[in-house]
Every structure is written in structure tokens, then in C-alpha cells.
Structure 1
Amino acid sequence: MLASVGFEAALTSFLLALSGLFSIVNPVGSALIFAQVTATRSQGERAELSRRIGFYAALVMLAALWAGAPILNFFGVSLAALRIAGGLFVAASAWTLLSAPETREARKHAEAAPESRENLAEIAFFPLTLPFTTGPGTIAVAIALGANRPSEPADLAAFFVGASLAALAIAGMVRLTYGSSDRVVTLIGPVRARVLGRLSAFLLLCVGTQITVNGVTDVLGPLLTTQRI
């Protein structure tokens, strides 16, 4: 019975984190831009870049997911405030993606334009991982997801297992789509990628709203209980 409950909690956190991170990272759409900015490099260099970026992206997302909320709590930011602020930021980012995807694409192009003379190790982390693949928006989403962790110790482990697996899955998607960016361009194309991006943005809007609702519930719940008593 306990194992079943733990599995359901892990699955719930996995799906929530997966939808949120996929929406903000958008591996398919980013792969289209990756193909353009690395067009002068060989297939072997692209494969090496995709491996490095996937690894670095996993580290960035896991660090933000695990350590982001505790660090902010250390500086006096309550978990409820972090949930509300993080949820609002996620929702605002999703609304921007829904209403003006072209603006984000232009910014992504500017962020991902490395100097051709730089070696792979240098450009894999900056700018192709930070800020192109897992930039401030991704970090904020990961921190907001981490702030949405349950308060019960029994559910905490299942939450972080599910959320961490989601982050690793997104990093795996980044490595796969970047490594096969030429095929992604051929199969998807910019129009379909933009449609997929808008659908993902709507999911992200739902995730941000849910995180905000949880934060507001944390604030108002004790007040309403006290008034009833």
C-alpha cells in the first residue's frame, strides 16, 4: 500500500515537472535554432556539443530543483512566498510564449550565436547551455517546482525522485534532438515547431497557475482555520 502511494506521488511530480520543464526548455524548437547556429560545424562536432549540453543542462536543472528553494529560504524567503512568486513568474513566462513566440525565438537566436573560433568545451556551456538551453526562465521554473514540494517527509523522497527523473528526461531529450537537429528540421519544420511550442506554453501556464494556487492556499489556509475556531 505504501509503495503504491509512493509510486503515485513520484509519478505525479514527474508529470508536473516534465510538462513544466519541457515547455520552458522546448527541446524541439531549440534544436531548430541549434541547427542554424552550428551549421558550419561537422556532424561529429554537433554530436559532441549535444552530449556536453545535455550533461550541463541536467546539472543546471537538478541544482535549481534541489538547492534553489533551500537557498532562498536561507535568506528569509518563505516557502509560500516562493511558491506564489515562482508560480506567477512561470505563468507570466508561459503567457509571453503564447502571445509572442517570435520574440523568444529572436532572443534565442541572439543567445545561441557563438564565435566560430571558440572550441567546443567553451561554447557547450556558454552560451549553448546557459543561457540558450537552460537560461533564467528554466532555472526559475525548476526553483518553483522545487518550492512546490510536499511538507510531509514521507512524500518528499517520492517528489524529488519524480522531479529529478523529469529533469534527466528533459536533458536526454535535449541531447537527442540537438544531436539529430538536421532530422528535426526536416521532420518538424518551423511552423509545426511553433504550434508545438504554443501547446507546451499552455501546459506551462497551467503549471504556473497550480503552483500559485498552492502558495495562496498555504497562506490563507491557516488564517481560515483560525477564524473558524
Structure 2
Amino acid sequence: MIPFTGFEAALTSFLLALSGLFSIVNPVGSALIFAQVTAERSHADRMELSRRIGFYAALIMLAALWAGAPILNFFGVSLAALRIAGGLVVAASAWTLLSAPEAREARKQAEAGPEPGETVRGDGLAEVAFFPLTLPFTTGPGTIAVAIALGANRPAEGPDRIGFYVGASLAALAIAGMVRLAYGSADRVVTLIGPVRARVLGRLSAFLLLCVGTQITVNGISDVLGPLIAAAHRG
């Protein structure tokens, strides 16, 4: 059980990670492209791909959340620097999504589609599911950067940190579940949502991602300036 003092941290981190990861992964918008690039596959193949992609996506996001920031700390990068740099990267990614979503959609379709001259086959689902449909199509460098930035935003030792990792991990699993459901229902998503509504949803998600990146950067700046301001007052 999470101590009551860590419950608020778990809830806060869950909402922050959920909005950030949902914005960059965009399961609904990606499902539209997934439906296009797997149109020649059978329904059974698409369902198997959606299950595998959801599983691989969960592994990638959890690894980046849990291990990304500690690895960078091992190389001497401070937590404040991680927060500032990670927040700026997230904000820059969000700005790109807001200003040129069509370019990102074209890039993702090129990443997920077969190479020129390559035929779509029913075998090798495990290989295709991981590369390119999971990495880089679903959870690419942008998703990994967002997850590392979220991990860098962890609180100090104690119940709050436990709550943070519980909440952020649940958010990553929730996003992976959304990916599985959206990809598995890609045909119905195309019919229900359509490209225009998916693009509007993508822009709203990008704005949320911009807010998340700004908040992470503000936390990093506060970590740097807080002790300096306190020392100036004491002096």
C-alpha cells in the first residue's frame, strides 16, 4: 500500500505523465496511420500486432521512466539540469506538433511503411511489431525523451518518490493499453474519428504537452534558483 503522504504524489505524477505521454504517443492519430500501413494484412495479423506493440511500448516507456534519469545522473548530469533540458526538449517537441502536425504524420507514415520494393507478408510479426511499428513509429525518440524528462521530475527520497514512480508507471501502462485498443480497433477508429478530428485532437494534445514541458522546466529552474535566493536572504 502507498502511504497516504505519497498518494497525492502518485495522483499528480499519474496525471502529469498521462497527459505528457498521451500527447507525444497520440494513440488515436497513430491508429489512423497504423490502419493504412497494415491494410494488406489480415484482421488476425493486425490484432496480434496491436498486442505486441502495446507490450513493447510499455517496456520502452517504463525503461525510460525508471532508468533514463539515473543513467544520466551516473554520468554527472544534475537533476536540475535534467529537468531544465528535458522540459525544453518536451516543449520543443510540442511546438513542432503544434506548428507542423502534417509533417509529423508524413514522417510517422514513412517510418511505419515498408521499404520501397518490400512486400507486406504475414510472417515475421514479432520483428515488424518491434521495428518499425513500436520503435520508432509508436514510441520513438520523442516519447523516450518525454519519459526521461518525467523521470527527472521525481521528488526526493521518501513516500513521495514511491508514489511518483507508482503513478508514472501506471500512466505508462495506461498509454500502452490505449495503444493496444486503438490499434486493434484501427478500422473503427478511422470510421468514427476520421483524419480531421484526429488532427484536432493531436493539436489539443500537443498544447497539453507544451504545458507539461514548461512545468518540468520551471521545476528545474526553481531547483537552481531556490537555494541561491534563500542564501541571498540569509546574507
TM-score range (shorter-chain normalised) is: over 0.9
**How many Å separate the matches in 2 of 1:179 and 1:88?**
34
The residue that corresponds to 1:28 in the other structure is: 28
**How many Å separate the matches in 2 of 1:22 and 1:163?**
12
Pick one of 176, 179, 183 that aligns with 1:178.
Answer: 183
Any runs of at least 4 consecutive aligned residues in structure 1 with deviations exceeding 6 A, and if so which? none
What TM-score, normalized to structure 1? 0.97
> What's the CA shift for 1:99?
0.8
**How many Å separate the matches in 1 of 2:13 and 2:65?**
12
> Is 2:27–2:182's contact at 8 Å kept on the other side of the alignment?
yes
**How many Å separate the matches in 2 of 1:7 and 1:76?**
31
Structure 2 counterparts to residues 3-18 of structure 1, below 5 A: 3-18=3-18
**How many Å separate the matches in 1 of 2:84 and 2:36?**
37
> What's the CA shift for 1:124?
0.3
The residue that corresponds to 2:58 in the other structure is: 58
> What's the CA shift for 1:103?
0.7
Comparing 111-120 and 172-181, the one that deviates more: 111-120
> What's the CA shift for 1:173?
0.2
> Gaps (5+ residues) in structure 2?
none
**How many Å separate the matches in 2 of 1:3 and 1:67?**
24
The residue that corresponds to 1:138 in the other structure is: 143
The residue that corresponds to 2:173 in the other structure is: 168
Comparing 145-154 and 169-178, the one that deviates more: 145-154
> What's the CA shift for 1:7?
1.8
The answer to whether residue 214 in structure 2 is matched with residue 202 in structure 1 is no
> What's the CA shift for 1:98?
0.6
**How many Å separate the matches in 2 of 1:11 and 1:154?**
13
> What's the CA shift for 1:154?
2.0
Partner SS state of residue 54, structure 2 = helix
> What's the CA shift for 1:151?
1.0
> Is 2:3–2:159's contact at 8 Å kept on the other side of the alignment?
no
Structure 2 counterparts to residues 60-209 of structure 1, below 5 A: 60-114=60-114, 115=118, 116-117=120-121, 119-209=124-214
**How many Å separate the matches in 1 of 2:52 and 2:230?**
51
> What's the CA shift for 1:5?
3.0
Deviations, residues 120-160 of structure 1 (Å, cap 9, x unaligned): 11100000000000000000000000000001422110000
Aligned residue type for 2:153: N
Q: Percent identity?
A: 85
**How many Å separate the matches in 2 of 1:185 and 1:135?**
23
Deviations, residues 192-228 of structure 1 (Å, cap 9, x unaligned): 0000000000000000000000000001111111111
> What's the CA shift for 1:3?
3.8
> Is 2:35–2:183's contact at 8 Å kept on the other side of the alignment?
yes
**How many Å separate the matches in 2 of 1:119 and 1:63?**
25
**How many Å separate the matches in 2 of 1:203 and 1:224?**
30
Question: What's the C-alpha RMSD, in Å, of the aligned pairs?
Answer: 1.0
> Gaps (5+ residues) in structure 1?
none
**How many Å separate the matches in 2 of 1:89 and 1:9?**
24
> What's the CA shift for 1:4?
3.4
What TM-score, normalized to structure 2? 0.95
